[in-house]
Amino acid sequence: MSKFQKLEFYAQQRPYELLPFKFDRLNDNEYVITNMAGEFHVIPVPMLESIISKTLPLTSELIPTLRSKQFIRFTNEQAPLQLLALKIRTRLSRLAEFTNLHIFVVTLRCDHSCPYCQVSRQSESKGEFDMTTEMADKSLDFVFMSPNPAIKIEFQGGEPLLNFEMVRYVVLKAKKRNVKEGRDLQFVIATTLSLLNDDVLDFCKQHNIVLSSSLDGPMDLHNANRPRPGRDSHQRFEEGLKKARAALGYDQVSALMTTTDKSLPRARDIIDEYLRLGFDGIFLRTLSPYGFAIKTKKFMSYDTERWLEFYKEGLEYIIDLNKSGIRFVEQYSSLVLTKMLTSEDPGFVDLMNPAGAGIAAIVFNYDGSVYASDESRMLAEMGDQTFRLGNILEHSYEEIILSDQLLDALENSFTLSAPMCSDCAFEPYCGAEPVYHHAIYKDVVARKPESSFCKRNMAIFKHLIELMESDEQIKRIFMGWANRC
Amino acid sequence: MLKLGGKIIRIHAVDVHRDLTLLKVSTSRNLPEVLRREIAYLVSDQEIPRGFAHYLLLEKHKHLVEVLLSDSDYSLLPDDYSYIDDGDIIRLSADRQSISVLFRASSPHNSILVTEQCNHYCLMCSQPPKAADDSWILDEIESLIPLIPKDTRELGFTGGEPTTNRERFLKIISLTKSYLPRTAIHILSNGRSFKDPAFAEKYARIELHDAMIGIPVYSDDPTLHDYIVQAQGAFDETIQGILNLKRLGQKVEIRVVIHKLSVQRLPELCEFIARNLLFVDHVALMGLEMMGFTRANLDELWIDPVEYKDTLSKSVSILARYGMNISVYNHQLCLVNRDIQPYYRKSISDWKNEYAPECLSCTKQSECGGFFASGVKFGYSKHLTPF
């Protein structure tokens, strides 16, 4: 008689208990189940009912996995509850830190005249579209009211380099104040790089300022999307990129692409252009519905389905690149994957709940208006002031942060209580997007079956999960992406 | 393999009532008289200094017995013990019939067995637990620690389950901190005691400056883990123990022994660790040691490492993607894929490590961890391929 007990001796005898989880059909044959910590598992359709009715045999091979991912537990087990709580706390820990990103719109003037531009651009000479020092001072007061130990100040426009004096002013003032504040202070300038000069680069170098730029694809596509006098946007970008990398460091310049109807057939070309220029990732973005984008009907000129095809084609190409040893990331997927595969929240404003508007990021406009997000000020440029939280010269921090406009939007769009969101299996990966939904549907929640935001993201979530389920190598590539943030 | 304990040839004891069970060994002939009274002198070819508490002679120096003063205590050691050197600590049994080497100053792998009692009964335990009261060991450790050289870089505590007697464990750890403030401490525990927040707090309050608790987790499936360690509810308590320790900022290492049972869900375990216990300081994936209970449960445990090569690579790559600190221990270099190399460690303690006959022609022997002596003796992979 062995002194060792058999495996059966340690098997649980009682029925298991369900821990909170949600489910959705992934395809004709499978469901995906998810929990608040972001854990997911794909199961064959007939299994779902037996899991929920607790009739799954205790010998089922599914039981260990359901326990391991905290979908079920047996009575008296404490570890699953502690792990779930810990992971959810970790996900939400960003909330307590409050606002990190502070956007300063130092001017609305721009040297480009892009048809999809999200803000109304003005000719280059008009001074009334510039931020004043008084506004900048008040905005900095506001910035340092944020309890966040890390503060990012991003300069936007227009083209911020057209009011570089104001950039310089804000950077120097902020750094001076920070001697006492001791925050982790970072600066970003969103610029086309077309007006970059040595003066600007010296200043950026001296103050560790990062440049965030725009690249829409190969020269013909980029220049068609981004007209400027001389039709040399792409050339200026590439020259600027070289100069900026040499001066500031290779990784100190990033690029964002905007998708237009012209981009849709050219996913590979666009990615190749990013590769050629030495970037290690690309953000396959959707066209946003604000500003000129809506006025010129560019937004409606292709539908979500067509964009998803573009995204999937691009992603497939990028995965192939990774499989052949080239480390290249699709950044939107990577944000979603961080939520799927880790307990971190990457803090991407579009995919946050409660919404990131106002509390993760806030905008100080050239005219003193304070907006809940970049999109909010674009909406305002179109005449809709819904997310204008106040004026920096007239209102206090408390008045702005506690304004009804902000709190109502946050509360009403909260995905854990919003109709259809609250019981959606993909809610842990998604976010409340009150500004977008208000802009399109005049309602911060909107009817989800009609929401292109919902449709697009659901399709992305399902696609990413199916890719991981179908190919272990892809899953491991994705694990690498998920942990970069 | 070094012989760490056994019968000795002869002890000449002048006064058997003298309390001399633990002795520090010295080869220095110039120690002040006051210190000699506590120390054993290891006889060499040089002239023998006087006044030491004890003299150790190897067989080759047997003839020097005649030179010793008649009132000297001495022991005659078989040549197996020729490795004993300056700074080592030995125990002479109360009946003066045998010797154990408790500490070797030249080894980086000194480990102190705290108890043979354990609340686990692991199928592959290399140090099978015993139920008998062995608290005399705790007494001995309390006298041992003050003798350990202050410049010791690392010291391990093992068992059995070293926290079996919680108060005495804490006392020993505190003692270690005060006598050996610069020594890195490594404790092998199943972690279950730390489920009690009060105990975990007491441990944390000692504030060891560099300590790691190595805790085994064998599966993400609680039932399988409980079966492997032969203790119901063990997984649940171990996980809570890890969480408590990390909450208190203590360093924790997860140790996974790979065998036929644990390898079934090794990638799932690694995903579990990466998602739930990302904050642990180190994950060690270890080959099976052919000692103790392993041999009794061989059919259930043995799997040729060549068969799990790819599973190991997959598991390590999961942990690596999450940026975890990983080591692969107790494996032979020719039985792991190349992608394991960044994590491959030559880990087997020097007194246990050996090579198989197949390894004689291998050009990478110096980079390879080799085998536990028990492995060479009781079975190893049939797929060794010398480089």
Domain ranges for chain A: 14-92, 98-302+345-404
Shortest alpha-carbon distance between residue A217 and chain B (Å): 30
B325 at interface of A, judged by CB pairs closer than 8 A: no
Query: Which among B102, B126, B147 is the end of a domain?
Result: B102
Residue B384 lies in a domain: no
Contact B223 A64 (CB under 8 A): yes
Residues B65 and B132 occupy one common structural domain:
no
- Residue B260 shares a structural domain with residue B352: yes
Chain B residues close to A64, C-beta within 8 Å = 219-221, 223-224, 265, 268
Average pLDDT, stretch A395-406? 94
The verdict on B51 and B125 lying in the same domain is: no
- In this model, does residue B230 exceed pLDDT 50? yes
- B347-368 average pLDDT score: 77
Which one of B48, B82, B102 terminates a domain? B102
Considering only CB atoms, which chain B residues are within 8 Å of A67? 220-222
Instruction: Compute and round to an integer the Cα radius of gyration of chain A.
Output: 24
Closest Cβ opposite residue B318 in set A12, A78, A476 = A476
- The answer to whether residue B387 is domain-embedded is no
Boundary-marking domain end, from B74, B102, B130: B102
pLDDT, tens only, A460-470: 999 999 999 99
Which amino acid does the sequence have at B364?
K
B321, A480: Cβ pair inside 8 Å? yes
- Residues A276, A294: Cα–Cα separation, whole Å: 32
pLDDT at A301 exceeding the cut of 90: no
Is residue B386 domain-resident?
A: no
Instruction: Specify the CATH number for the domain of residue B126.
Output: 3.20.20.70
pLDDT value at position A450?
85
Q: Residues B25, B117: one domain?
A: no
Judgement on whether residues B208 and B357 belong to the same structural domain of the protein? yes
Neighbouring residues of A410: CB distance < 8 A, sequence distance ≥ 6:
A354, A355, A357, A358, A359, A432, A434
Q: Per residue in B86-133, pLDDT tens?
A: 999 998 877 777 888 899 998 888 999 999 999 999 999 988 889 888
Quick one: B56 and B118 in the same domain?
no
Express each pLDDT in B131-188 by its tens digit: 888 888 898 899 899 999 999 999 999 989 999 999 999 999 999 999 999 999 999 9
For residue B385, being part of any structural domain is answered with no
Check residue B318 and give its pLDDT: 96
Q: Which of residues 35-54 of A touch B (CB under 8 A)?
A: 39
Please check whether residue B161 touches A, CB under 8 A.
no
pLDDT at site B9: 65
Question: Looking at the domain assignment, is residue B161 inside a domain?
Answer: yes
- Summarised one tens digit per residue, pLDDT across range B302-318 is 999 999 999 999 999 99
Q: What is the pLDDT of residue A157?
A: 84
Q: Where are the alpha helices (DSSP H) in B180-233?
A: 197-205, 222-229
Instruction: Give the rounded distance of the alpha carbon of A170 from its chain centre.
Output: 26
Comparing C-alpha atoms, which of B71, B123, B96 is closest to residue B288?
B123
E strand or H helix that includes residue B184: strand B184-188
Least confident of A102-116, A384-398, B202-216: A102-116
Give the span between the Cα atoms of B62 and A484, in whole angstroms: 67
- pTM for the structure as a whole: 0.91
pLDDT in tens, A322-335: 999 999 999 999 99
Asked if the Cβ–Cβ distance from B243 to A4 is below 8 Å, we say no
Type of residue at A377:
R
B289 falls within a domain: yes
The reply to whether B317 and B367 lie within a common domain is yes
Does any domain span residue B137? Answer: yes
| Residue A411 confidence (pLDDT) | 93
Let me know if residue B307 belongs to a domain: yes
The per-residue pLDDT for A295 is 57
Task: Verify whether the Cβ–Cβ distance B230 to A78 is below 8 Å.
Answer: no
Contact B223, A11 (CB under 8 A): yes
pLDDT of A412 over the 90 cut: yes
Q: What number of helices (H) and strands (E) belong to chain B?
A: 11, 17
Q: Which residues pair with A155 in a beta bridge?
A: A104, A189
State pLDDT tens for residues A107-154.
Answer: 988 888 877 776 656 666 667 889 999 999 999 999 999 999 999 999
Report the SS3 class of residue B212: strand
Q: What is the ipTM of this complex?
A: 0.90
Query: What is the residue-averaged pLDDT of chain A?
Result: 91
Element (H, E) at B252: strand B251-257
- What is the mean predicted confidence (pLDDT) over A371-393? 90
Instruction: Say yes or no: B304 and B275 in one domain.
Output: yes
Asked if residue B321 lies in contact with residue A480, where contact means CB atoms within 8 angstroms, the answer is yes
Q: Is B272 on the interface with A (CB under 8 A)?
A: yes
B121 and B85 fall within a common domain: no
CA distances from B232 to A483, B223, B229 (A): 35, 8, 9
CB proximity B279 to A under 8 Å: no
CATH number of A98-302+345-404: 3.20.20.70
**319-358 in A: which are within 8 Å (CB) of B?**
341-343
Structural domain containing residue B89: 5-102
User: Over the Cα atoms of chain B, what is R_g?
Assistant: 23
CA dist., res. B44 & res. B374, Å (int): 33
Biggest CA–CA distance in chain B, Å, is: 68
- Give the pLDDT of residue A485: 45
Placement of tokens 């929990």 in the chain: A35
Q: If residue B25 lies in a helix (H) or strand (E), which one and from where to where?
A: strand B22-26
pLDDT band at B19 (very low <50, low <70, confident <90, very high): low
Measured between CA atoms, the residue of chain B closest to residue A82 is B240
Question: For residues A60-72, b (16+ Cβ closer than 10 Å) or e, as one string?
Answer: eebbbbbbbbbbb
Per-residue pLDDT reduced to its tens digit, B27-65 = 998 889 888 988 999 998 888 898 898 899 888 888 888
Q: What is the domain count for chain B?
A: 2
Amino acid A1: pLDDT: 44
Distance CA A187, CA A299 (A): 31
Taking contacts as CB-CB distances below 8 angstroms, the residues of chain B near A12 are: 223
